Chain A
Amino acid sequence: SAVISQKPSRDICQRGTSLTIQCQVDSQVTMMFWYRQQPGQSLTLIATANQGSEATYESGFVIDKFPISRPNLTFSTLTVSNMSPEDSSIYLCSVDLQGGGNTIYFGEGSWLTVV
């Protein structure tokens, strides 16, 4: 399977600040997805990021709060803007290695704590 690297792996952030999470894949992938996992909860899809187009956001998530970039087929960023303690979560980048075949693998996650 592909290597999916996320940075940072862990961070403690001040309320009101913004943080950008990077996701790097060692092979070209068409579809990338960003998920949030709040403490003790399941994974919730934030948005789908395809190269060359605007990200598609799920209900409850907006571009102003979670801007996403997808400049090429191996890289994406998710920014968590104007953070509050409710944003304390694991943020996971995931990729479809089969270009629509839905075999989804996850990066190691970015564990954010907002204080």
Chain B
Amino acid sequence: GENVEQHPSTLSVQEGDSAVIKCTYSDSASNYFPWYKQELGKRPQLIIDIRSNVGEKKDQRIAVTLNKTAKHFSLHITETQPEDSAVYFCAASKAGTALIFGKGTTLSVSS
């Protein structure tokens, strides 16, 4: 089955810096790669996703890149703000199956 590895487990940046979180997946048939943000005491919220027919997707300060050959995808957050502090999860799946999640990255943005 699918296995998703996520790095780093913790990430500390200064406000205004960029943050990058990387994930690798094992199942070459996976074609959907979302990212979730989870704030303390809340449910995971979908922040951006990418499908296998696209190499990059951007939404304001957030972007995701996908390299299908290498089976890895990354989340890029630019101009980080304190409210970006949270746990971020990557996930992967193929059509009609459940998401398999990485172990999460705790992002801390200090002002």
Contacts and interface: CB of A to CB of B under 8 A. Distances in A.
B102 A100 contact: no
B45 to A, nearest CB: 8
Interface residues of B, number: 22
Interface in A17-39: 31, 33
Contact of B46 (A42, A48, A92, A105): A105
Interface string A42-64: 11110010000000000000000
A109 B98 contact: no
Contacts of B96: 31, 100, 102
A103 interface: yes
Contacts of A94: 99
B46 A33 contact: no
B44 interface: yes
B100 interface: yes
Given A42-B89, A102-B32, 19 more contacts: A41-B103, A42-B101, A42-B104, A43-B89, A43-B101, A45-B99, A94-B99, A100-B95, A101-B32, A102-B34, A102-B95, A102-B97, A103-B49, A104-B34, A104-B98, A106-B43, A106-B44, A108-B42, A109-B43
Contact of B102 (A33, A42, A103): A42
Contact of B99 (A41, A101, A102, A109): A102
Contacts of B32: 101-102
Nearest to B46: A105
B107 to A, nearest CB: 15
